[in-house]
Amino acid sequence: MCTIWRHRIVSALVNCLLMKKLKTAVRKWRTMRLFRKRDDSSVTRQTSIEPVPSTSGTPAHLSRPPNDLLQLEPDEGQKLREQHLRQFSFFQLRIHLKRGQSLIAMDKNGLLSGTSDPYVKFKAGGRLLHKSRIVYRDLNPVWDECFTVPIEDPFQPVQLKVFDYDWGLQDDFMGSCQLDLTALELGRAHDLVLCLRDPNKPSLDLGEIVLNVTLYPKSQEDKEAYLLKNTRLSDVNKRLKAQIWSSVVTIVLVEAKNLPAMDVETRSSDPYCKFRLGNEKYKSKVIWKTLHPSWLEQFDLHLYDDQEQILEVTVWDKDKQTKDDFLGRCAIDLSRLEREKTHNIWQELEDGNGQIFLLLTISGTTQSETITDLASYRENPRDIEIIERRYTWYRLNETTSGVGWLCVKVYGAKGLAAADLGGKSDPFCVLELGNSRLQTHTEYKTLTPNWMKIFTFTVKDISSILELTVYDEDHDHKVEFLGKLAVPLLNIRNGEKRWFALKDKKMRARAKGNYPQILLEMSVIWNPLKAAIRVVNPIEPKYMHQEAKFKRQLFIRNVMRLKAIIMWFLEFGKILQDCFEWESRLRSFIGLLAWLAFCYNYQMWMMPFLLLVFFTRNWLIYRLTGGNPLLIPVDDDDLQAEEDDEEEVDKEEKKSLKERLQAIQEVTQTVQNAIGYVASLGEAVKNLMNFTVPYLSYIAIVMLIGAMIVLYLIPLRYLLMAWGINKFTRKILRPHTIPNNEVLDLLSRVPDDETLLDIRELKPHAPNENRRDARKKHKAS
């Protein structure tokens, strides 16, 4: 009996399983009927916002929306389509942007040239997915770009916008269209032709965009893997594991000379350079129509221990229609170059003619036990004694090129701003003195880096300013500004270890963060007599210095600086006018007697004597007050600079000004810089007399005493004759000397008020909260 019931139960279970499998098979059969292949004969021309796909093969393992949805009611088809797409939590859209057809000409002289410089932006939900490259001067551009973008909401259409690139101006809108993802079959490639339209001019034909798209469904695991691969945290971890470079090679491509002419008509070339170090490459910009190009480009390459340390440089001539012409090559063996030192390299080009000039520095080492590792550094008193003897004041014929020696110990920083998504940064510090540039290694995922590095510089000019800039390293070796500090060499207190506050890009306010500071210890040893001779000779140009472009705020600031100098002369003229008008009889009478006595007894040596009197007056003020008020450290409450977003504001300002002042841009830029130069010169004279830089003021005093003695002993006529002979015979006797003016060369070393604001220190500690509250209450009352 039990056996019979057992067989019945087993039979019932088998029948249930069979019925279930049968129902499942029927359901799958019905689904496959809905998924039968479409009969699309050609590429569909789309004029609406929904793409119509063309014929293409479909992988068997991917799901598709039902083909018979067109035969169903619209509401039912939409519901089934949405239900099918909601089965997947993540999608990837592969786009092959092929070309554009019959685009509209947007150039200003479009009637003559009929060209545009088009590029395409892909957006979804206001987020930029991809931006294509720019195709110049073409109304039928061929992009031929393939890329894949993540899609989380397939019900949001992808917007395509085409723009015409205009250098320095607002890019022109050339049309837009939309890609409806709900009309695409999953896993199937679709060839589409999208018509561009302008919402303001719907009837205007703006051309077409030809592309191929495929929408792939992905699972939740695929989504998590994709997000993990592309998050910033994963980027940092990957870089930490993969970073095996030992040093950073900083290259400044300055110029080239005597290149061969490859263009027969113009007898010139369009040169550019290619650099290769291991697997890393760099290509410079093209300098058009010249045999003596000046690039002034700075870039970094990375040096690995297990690779060949040969820097390959090739120079090419750019041809628009044919293959670029080869101009020459050279190779630089980096293993023979001293680390942590900037090398000036003139290299002859092989397989061609000409020379190329580079500034090359190998620094940023990640290894310990190196000459820059402060943890393993032990100061040797004997080495310091040798350096001090080398730069003794009476040693003027030494073979050393500089006038002194600078040692900078970079311990670390604190309070830096968080530049990454995880609330951390990857900071490193760059030190610049003139054309010399050194840097520390990168400390990852921290706001309080401990670099523990020591650097030495050869001082070529004692009036130079040491600049320290802290950056955050991003992926692809890009950087983000975190703070900056400027320290004049003459202000350094040897052996003093202390915190310095970091400033923002404008050098007027504190940098972003929690009172960011950097811990330094500096020492400078220099020859005062040799330095005095150097400051009255032409200053070494800084190769990476770029002339300031026109900005409204900079123009107004330079005008106000010049106005302050002019007002000083106006005040002096007003005093003379009051004497002439006899506003005060006693003062006018004394002034008349002084003028008559001066004119009757005047000798040339009296002019330097009067300037010495003025120097003496200001020296007494300097000794009693303690220096220029622009150099006194201040709190944040005393700063008047406004903090704003540097990149966005500057970019918007540049765009708007170039739209309004296109015709007079070059004129206003020249006027702005000329006003800035005159204002800087006047402020330099003022600061020279105010003992802002006492060393330079003492040099001026010595020069004035010498001029006074010479003018007292030698008649002016003989001095003028000697001056004329020197000027007329300079080209014959000394053809390679640089013409200079000792007075202007000395003034070029004196900082103007803008430089003083740059180097003014901020107090490292936070200001007293009680005092700040008291100030706020006082201002409110």
Residue predicted with more confidence, 542 or 728: 542
Domain boundary among 363, 393, 410: 363
Q: Is residue 486 part of a domain?
A: yes
Backbone dihedral angles phi then psi of residue 687, each to the nearest 5 degrees? -70, -25
Write down the pLDDT at residue 741.
76
> Is pLDDT larger for residue 66 or for residue 590?
590
Please check whether residues 612 and 746 belong to one and the same domain.
yes
Which tokens in the block code for residue 109? Answer: 């002289």
Question: Is 688 a domain residue?
Answer: yes
Q: What is the rounded average pLDDT of the residues 307-335?
A: 86
Q: Which of 160, 192, 179, 189 shows the shortest CA–CA distance to 44? A: 192
Please report the pLDDT score of residue 177 as a whole number: 92
Average pLDDT over residues 519-537: 89
Domain shared by 97 and 220, yes or no: yes
Residue 501 has pLDDT above 90, yes or no: yes
Residues 599 and 727 placed together within one structural domain of the fold = yes
Examine the fold and report which residue of 363, 394, 427 is the final residue of a domain before the chain moves on. 363
pTM over 0.85: no
The pLDDT value recorded for residue 96 is: 92
537-544 CB contacts, 8 Å cutoff, 24+ apart: 537/740, 537/745, 538/738, 538/740, 538/745, 539/461, 539/745, 539/748, 539/749, 540/434, 540/435, 540/460, 540/461, 542/434, 542/435, 543/252, 543/254, 543/296, 543/359, 543/435, 544/252, 544/296, 544/298, 544/435
Q: How confident is the model at residue 521 (pLDDT cuts 50, 70, 90)?
A: very high
Tokens 């089965």: give the residue: 87
Domain boundary among 241, 256, 286: 241
CB 503 within 8 A of CB 512: no
- Give the confidence band of 34 by pLDDT, cuts at 50, 70, 90: very low
Q: Which pLDDT band holds residue 63 (cuts at 50, 70, 90)?
A: very low
Q: Is residue 551 in a domain?
A: no
Average pLDDT over residues 625-651: 57
Q: Which amino acid does the sequence have at 758? A: D
Q: Give yes or no: residues 572 and 599 share one domain.
A: yes
Answer whether residue 483 shows pLDDT above 90.
Answer: yes
The pLDDT of residue 497 is 92
Alpha carbon 511 to its chain centroid, in Å, reads 17
Task: Give yes or no: residues 340 and 386 share one domain.
Answer: no
Q: In 263-367, where does DSSP find H-type helix?
A: none
Same domain flag for 600 and 712:
yes
Is 543 contained in some domain? no
pLDDT, residue 476, reads 63
Q: Is residue 592 a part of any domain in this protein?
A: yes
Same domain, 625 and 495: no
For residue 537, is it within any domain? no
**pLDDT 10s digits, 181-234:** 888 888 888 899 999 998 888 888 889 999 999 988 887 777 777 666 555 444
Do residues 348 and 391 share a domain? no
Residues 106-145 pLDDT 10s: 875 544 457 888 999 998 877 888 888 888 888 899 988 8
- State how beta strands 44-46 and 190-195 pair: parallel
Q: What is the CATH number of the domain that holds 224?
A: 2.60.40.150
* Domain hosting residue 126, numbered range: 82-241
pLDDT at 48: 37
Q: Is residue 746 part of a domain?
A: yes
- What span, in angstroms and rounded, lies between the C-alpha atoms of 709 and 603? 12
Residue type, 424: K
- Shared domain check, 386 and 306: no
Are residues 191 and 86 part of one domain? yes
Residues 727 and 748 in one domain: yes
* Pair 97, 142 in one domain: yes
Mean pLDDT confidence for 267-282: 87
Amino acid at 639: L
For residue 3, is it within any domain? no
Beta strand segments in 444-586, E: 450-459, 465-473, 479-488, 496-501, 513-526
CA R_g for the chain: 36
Q: Structural domain tally of the chain?
A: 4
